[in-house]
Amino acid sequence: MSAEDLENYETEMELQLYREYRDVVGLFSYVVETERRFYLANKVDLQARSADGEVYFDLNLQDAWVWDVYRSARFVKHVRVITFKDVNVEELVKNDELEVPKSPGDPL
């Protein structure tokens, strides 16, 4: 496999992942970003904790979807993340006015 073939494969995988995201985003209530991953979830519990003077975040998600090209199963019942880095949680707007734009050439 050439470098060009590998690059084309990765580009196609990312495009498929974006299309899947576009199709499932309406099923979820929250967008969650951590240093390592991007999630969609229906229930989010974020707790700031401390140990030995260090603050860390204990994040629990239920009914989640994981943005990860290399994951075969992106739908996850429960996710727990422990991190010392920032965590962003946003509630998604359930509104027809805010839709992810369709890609050119995609069927309606």
pLDDT exceeds 60 at position 21: yes
Give tens-digit pLDDT for 94-105: 766 556 667 776
Spacing of C-alpha 56 from chain mean position: 20
**Of 103 and 13, the one with more pLDDT:** 13
* Interval 9-23 mean pLDDT: 92
pLDDT band at 50 (very low <50, low <70, confident <90, very high): very high
DSSP 37-82: -EEEEEEEEEEEEEETTEEEEEEEEEEEEE--TT-S--EEEEEEEE
| CA quadruple 92, 75, 21, 87: dihedral sign | positive
pTM of the predicted structure, to 2 decimals: 0.77
**CA geometry: angle 71, 26, 87, nearest 5 deg:** 60
